[in-house]
Chain A
Amino acid sequence: MSNTLSILTFLPLLGALLVALIPARQALLLRAAGIVTALAALAFSLVLAVQYDRAAGSLQYVEQFAWIPSLHIEYYLAADGLSLLLLVLTGIVTLFALLALGARSTKLGVSLILVLETTLFGTFTALNFIHWFLFYELSLVPAFFLIRMGGSAKATAAATQFFIYTLFAGFAMLLGFLAIHQATATFNLTDLAALAHNEKLGHALSDAFPGLATHINLLVFGGIFLGLAVKVPVVPFHTWLPDAYTEAPAPVSMLLTGLLSKMGVYGFLRLLFPLFPGLMRHLAWPLFGFALVTIIYAALAALAQKDLKRIVAYSSINHLGYCLLGLFAASAVLPGVGGADPAAAMNGVLLQIFNHGLTAAALFCFIGFIELRSGGLRGLNDFGGLRDAAPVLAGLMGIALFSSLGLPGLNGFPGEFLIFKGTFALAAWPAALAAIGLFVTAVFLLTLIERVFTGPLDSRWLTFPDLTAGERFTVAPAIALMFIVGICPQILIALFNQTVLHLLR
């Protein structure tokens, strides 16, 4: 029994308190404190990932204490390859966002981001539902205030919509788990997964609600699905997302898309899939329908957007659709069936989680840089020929865009390759239809490059400054990672391959 995960979880909170104690006029010190904390958290998560016993792939660094025994609530933390992937991603994107915040760092902003990091760390390690749910919902509070920092009346409206929508969906999930608790007298997720594995969970639910015997499983599943679907988001539960991503300041959009959306996917992997494998298999086709609609609809909607942030927002929805596609394909077959294909799809999903987090965050970061220079303008047709004035910005953002497009050699490709490889073998039609999304993504991303960076240089932007040294330093690690993961994805897969096999068992 250790307490490393607790230390990791509360390290950013400590940093946030520290930042709160620093006088507001010490801007540089505030920034430094925030960045040092984020660096320490990232280093810590990396150490945990390196020391993790990959060959076992099991839950490690376990901390388990009774919290409210009468209600079966425990303080229960542990990490496996999936958790560690997300911990490292959280460390990276938080640091990235703090660096991108740059001169706009305020006391409130920095401390809220650090608080958010704590809630994320908590979510990605907690294994008792109530403990998990606490962090999951708590993340809304810093996120709400961070979105409002966008300043406009629309930002406030977007933040409110985001908060209420996800909170409401959370309740649906909570209800589901209360029903499960009623039936099993536990919130412990590993115990519940073991019950589900032996097909006892469904029976327990039916027995506990005799009046609803036939529907209770579906109801509980639906509640949890809804809660997570809003968070990911799955079309048609996505409308909060474009507004929130667009109205929030760019560094906050980085956190929203890079990390908060991953809480939803993580929930699918950690809650829904282990607890309802039979139902997911049973409902495979409707679920494929959700994934496909998410992929194609979001890509087409992105095609019609005129605001750079909205384009990337819809593109985000589209990319998360691939995660769901792979997960649903892996869950569509009985354990042990399908050879290496479910593992391929699942490994692809985990890679895609990381890659989307990195790439989408980088794209919002670049849009933030453009906004800084254009006085807030970010329309698709507001620019033109920027590559002439700002070649480094154009080149680096071009790399990020092509990573998002899934160009081989960059990080987007291996994840999508594995997802499609596994999905095609398990369910050929959904995979073939999802390829439409890949094509449409190329259309809108290349249109973005064409309108913003090529053509004659717009006379308004003759003095458009290129990236400063600080900005280059901010994005350089992300760009380097895109190449590293793209060329050698094995460094990530090695971390979670065995965990994937555990999940699929």
Chain B
Amino acid sequence: MDNIVSIAAVLVPLLPLLAAGITAFLKREQRGLSATLVITAQAIACATSLYLLLVAMCEDHGEPGIVHQFFNFPWLTFGNQTLQLGLVLDPLSAGMAAMVSFVSLLIFIYSLGYMHDDRNFTRFFTFLGLFSGAMLGVVLSNSLLLTFVAWELVGLASYLLIGFWFHKHSASAAAKKAFLTTRVGDMGFLIGMFWLYKASGTLLFYDNGAGCLEQTALTTLAHTLAGGMAVSNIIALLIFCGAAGKSGQFPLHVWLPDAMEGPTPVSALIHAATMVAAGVYLVARVFPIFTATGPHSSALVVVACIGAFTALFAALIAVGQWDIKRILAYSTVSQLGFMMLALGVGSVAAAMLHLLAHAFFKALLFLGAGSVIHGVHEEQDIRNMGGLWRKMPTTFLTYTVGMLALAGFPLFFSGFWTKDAILHEAHLWTVSQAPFYMAVAAAFLTAFYMTRQMMYVFFGSYRGNAAHPHESPAVMTVPLVILAAAAILMSLPATPAWPWYEKFLAGHAPSFLPAALFEPGFLQIAATSAAIVFFGIGLGWLIYGRRPLGDTDPLQTVAAPVFRALTNRLYVDEIYEATVIRGLRVLGRVMAWVDRQIVAGAVRAVAWLSFLVSAISNGMDRFLINFGFDSSCNALREYGGGIASCEGGRVQGYLRVLGIGIVVLLGLVAWLLA
């Protein structure tokens, strides 16, 4: 990296972080200043990351292949080894950074309107800045360690923002749940990182051939075995644990729907567009480790299976939800499953393309949902909405664009092309066709539950309690329009006719190939997926669109137990509550009891033992030693008393004894002399 590019790359994550650092010192009343600082920093970061994208695009293709420009710097020196951190600019990071900073900027602006009346407005922007800086750090990092650092900071920002309305028990509980669930995955990530460090001797991704994603290290990793498995696959799976936690993959998905307790812009930014995609991005970043033993490595098979399962599982649950944001949350989990599936079957391009497109249309849907919630006065239950298309036309139109993109409606919506690409790749996968069919089912359900939601929210008659639903102010609707445009425009680099993004990722010049649209392999999939979408939307309309909707879902009358199970999220949370959480709590109590009764008890026993010994010695003193002592004392006293009586203090007595003594002495002397 040359100097200017390095500085630019450093500035992108640093500016929002600095803004967050400064606004952390601001007082509650300095609302305008806080928002201005953070949004300005974000705008500059966004411009800079667009510049970086340009740099990456204009990189001279002397020979085909990906150019990784990096900038490494030392962080620690222990022993004689120096641990370096770094930033990397390549097509992968450049595209992601541009998307993250752009969507962030839009959502920051939207937040000006949405959070306008919040008491902690100032702090909200501090947290947003922290999030953006950390997320851009994840994206641009050239070191697994720096990725981990930024990763955890993103987790912190997510924790702070989910629990932003901390006076609500549910919000603070959801924040804790999010942090801890992702941390379960992060423990795997951490161990994977140490293992990678041990096995390859470096955590830098690219370092002129010495990085852990470069050929030398990969060859070593692929050929080292541990328990019959290539080390590269074990490390990849451990890192995938972290990715699964962040990206809400089964079985670590439980935190994401609860994360909707946060303000809606947060749901849009962090829990739909950017942070939850970090797991997908991480797998895409370290993809060379996943493929070190070949394109169908066991690690990738696991990723594909978990991705496909999650896509179907979450889409099913979404059908039974009543909360407008929770439906979108499960939809996000499901779409992330699609992305993981794409990675698992070996296509980074399909995964990343869906990630980028999804970021725009899902942010759009969440902000649209936010606008609806705002318009009907903080109501989130879709049973209490209805007929809103008349009251909120802009929101309705943009939401429809988002819905069609998510459902994968043919031709003009980005979701169609990106989802097709994934289905296409899954179909080509030689290991198994099961993931493909699961994905097809999930695609059908996606169209179905989104139609259900649209019908409940925008069509029919208004069923809500809040009077006068209204359209939102321009500061909120303008970002909706921009995102809707992006949801459509993102089709452009995604079609097989002009696979710009795919070529860009692979380091090739883009080419215009209209014929690719008519290849039989593609046409077949495109037709299938279009048919599925029409079927899903049609069925949705048949069930929900033809008669007035009430408090019971039409499906409830058909299959009540199934619907109840879906509404209750297939009881995964309950199972965790009964096993992991209770288990941990019980274990803690057991340890505390052992501590108090057994370990401390042993200490107390030692103390009692010493007391016992001292009591015994005391007794011996008194009754054995003292008895002997006392009796000799008594004898002595009596004897002494006798002697003492001689010294009665009477002079006559003394004189008498003296006289007797003298007489005796004189007698004695006389006797001796004789």
Contacts and interface: CB of A to CB of B under 8 A. Distances in A.
A53 interface: no
A435 B595 contact: no
A246 B607 CA distance: 21
A455 B167 contact: yes
* Most central of B28, B590, B603 by chain A CB within 10 Å: B603
Nearest to B159: A446
A115 B587 CA distance: 42
Interface string A335-378: 00001111110011000000000000000000000000000000
B76 A425 contact: no
Contacts of A500: 78-79
Interface in A366-419: 385, 387-388, 391, 395, 402, 407-409, 413-414, 417-418
A480 to B, nearest CB: 12
A297 B590 CA distance: 10
A239 B180 contact: no
Contacts of A240: 603
Interface in A132-148: none
Bin the interface of chain A by size: 35 or more
A289 to B, nearest CB: 16
A92 B183 CA distance: 32
Contacts of A165: 603
A501 interface: yes
Interface string B608-647: 0000000000000000000000000000000000000000
A27 interface: no
B195 interface: yes
Interface stretch (B110-118, B148-156, B386-394, B458-466): B148-156
Given A304-B592, A408-B148, A497-B78, A239 B166 contact: no
A454 B169 CA distance: 7
Interface string A427-441: 010011001101110
Contacts of B166: 385, 387-388, 453-455
Given A440-B584, A454-B163, A340 B80 contact: yes
A450 B194 contact: no
Nearest to A487: B75
A442 B77 contact: no
B595 A301 contact: yes
A152 interface: no
Contacts of B183: 439, 442
Nearest to B148: A408
A435 B172 contact: no
A161 B600 CA distance: 11
A388 B191 contact: no
A493 B191 CA distance: 23
B167 A456 contact: yes
A235 B172 contact: no
A435 B167 contact: no
Given A340-B81, A435-B187, A435-B190, A303 B149 contact: no
A421 B591 contact: no
Nearest to B593: A304
B176 A439 contact: no
B179 A446 contact: yes
Nearest to A426: B198
B496 to A, nearest CB: 41
A454 B172 contact: yes
* Most central of B77, B78, B590 by chain A CB within 10 Å: B78
Contacts of B198: 341, 424-425, 428
Given A421-B197, A432-B191, A455-B172, A303 B588 contact: yes
B589 interface: yes
Given A239-B603, A340-B80, A347-B78, A442 B191 contact: no
Nearest to B581: A443
A470 B184 CA distance: 40
Given A407-B156, A408-B149, A450-B173, A344 B79 contact: yes
A440 B580 CA distance: 12
B657 interface: no
A304 B194 contact: no
A489 interface: yes
Interface string B64-101: 00000000001111111100000000000000000000
Contacts of B584: 300, 303, 440, 443
B523 interface: no
B572 interface: no
Nearest to A168: B606
A456 B170 CA distance: 11
A421 B145 CA distance: 11
A497 B79 contact: yes
Nearest to B24: A395
A236 B601 CA distance: 11
A340 B171 CA distance: 45
Nearest to B603: A239
A489 B76 contact: yes
A340 B79 contact: yes
* Most central of A240, A454, A489, A494 by chain B CB within 10 Å: A454
Given A439-B184, A450-B172, A493 B76 contact: yes
A236 B598 CA distance: 10
A341 B201 CA distance: 10
Contacts of B173: 450
A494 B173 CA distance: 42
Given A340-B79, A438-B187, A420 B194 contact: yes
A457 interface: yes
A393 to B, nearest CB: 14
A341 B37 CA distance: 44
B79 A301 contact: no
B585 interface: yes
Contact of A236 (B28, B187, B599): B599
B463 to A, nearest CB: 30
B668 to A, nearest CB: 59
Contacts of A420: 190, 194
B621 to A, nearest CB: 22
B194 A344 contact: no
A305 interface: yes
Interface of B: 24, 28, 74-81, 145, 148-150, 152-153, 156, 163, 166-169, 171-173, 176, 179-180, 183-184, 187, 190-191, 194-195, 197-198, 584-585, 587-592, 595, 599-600, 602-603, 607
23 contacts: A236-B602, A239-B603, A297-B595, A301-B591, A302-B588, A303-B585, A303-B591, A304-B588, A304-B589, A340-B81, A344-B79, A344-B81, A391-B28, A408-B149, A408-B150, A409-B153, A432-B191, A435-B187, A438-B187, A442-B180, A454-B167, A493-B76, A497-B79
Q: Which 10 A-B pairs have the closest CB atoms?
A: A343-B79, A303-B588, A454-B172, A304-B592, A408-B149, A424-B194, A340-B81, A304-B588, A340-B79, A454-B166
